[in-house]
Structure 1
């Protein structure tokens, strides 16, 4: 038998207390915090349960005072199963993401689905593959499907997508994640992209790294813009000039192709003065790490062949080459 959603479990617990006489008409039911502690759930789960009970006329919610068993309630008429109308009002939430390739988004999907399920909501996942046209089609499809709200992680090359703008103008329940549309009033959840970049570059500069490469997608979404501004401000505040020839902006068509690794490797190889690299996205960070490893491997192989050739040419001068070990913090 399928286990009831947590908000339904809370509902049935309160109904059982009413039927048993433990809670009578006009009695105050446990507060949101008390229910959160008792069932070890989030506030939204408790609120969904109380909203459902209120919609069914079983309780009355009084702002600032709490929730009370309805004074006009006929206990014998209570049904344990929520009405179809009430159940459908807490159904589908659309979650739109650009890709499943990064661990950050994979974890985001996992946790979002978990908490939506805890709240009694079902998630419909759509992947835009970084295409704004697919994103527009998905938004239209999900709204026509009747989702009650949308969580949108906009595409990497996001500009003023008309579909996203329409969501805001229509006041459709929607939350943007990480990337968003500037000057558009809506709900957003983002990292402190500016502050994070500023701290990272300030740290590198304090360690005497002045030739810092910036590796980034060639686009201007808000996350990339804010991280770039943080990068620049760190240099400005320490009175150090930025060498923008060390900035590698990867065209999106290359970034999404098999040429991406060669593109970053060639850039690093042609800028030997770089002492540190700062990548603005997880995807470019993985590329940069792979490119550095590739260049180091080539360097070590060149050394190996050089030592072997020396001996083959009757040059005997024993050498002990030690490859540095680098401590990397995850």
Structure 2
């Protein structure tokens, strides 16, 4: 139980999405009431305004998803809200914060809850003045997906890639990381080629700034070669597998690839040739344990310089906690596009 006193306005109970496992081994997500005493240990308590929905959250709601280790469990790897109690001198009551990564929503109860209790080490303060509902909404419209996209773009820029060096390929462009990568790259003046299998999402990708859209199939030749015609100054890849192998084969000499996902598989059917004959670099992108100093820099950019990205018409769809079970099913069936955010603040 928490050691700090809770504010007198703290409710006796509140809503959360609970993933439960019955005696038959069946897994079911259900919205029900819990109390603060049901929350895990932590030195900061937060009233959540918004969370978001990610593929990892969907996996947490099904058997053999590889996310949840024990039940009952509250999923949700993202949260943004207001501190209501704190034993951490860095965070004061009333402060606006965002949380992604670490063990949040994986081994520690997550953000699909009206209140959360977490370690202050995991928190990032929102920029000064970010205290209204729209600031929280914007933060969750980016969420883990946006942080991963921002880290990917940052890595390519630190590699030395400039807009004049040529087009950047973004794979899996209809998903959260891919689409936000398109938006950030376009904001920075890069020519972006977006690869997607969802024709219905192409109008939004054009609004986000994609200069060209290609089909996923165009990245999957009948015969995979370790080297092909040089097409891309750099690549942001969320797919892995054959798609990443194909992208690597077409990166310009000295270029770079930032890889963060495996929706097309964890195997990488390629050779060392792209690396030793063209001098390209493959960067792995991890947002879970990224340094907080870098997180702060990138969150400030997302919520100031790049905030207009998440106001693109039709890109972000807002839902309630009760919608989550249906949304996770759709997501696992590949029927989700863009960003889905969950409103918890009443």
Of Structure 1 and Structure 2, the greater strand share is in 2
Greater RCO structure (CA 8 Å; 6+ sep)? 2
* Structure showing the higher helix proportion among its residues: 1
Fold equivalence (TM over 0.5): no
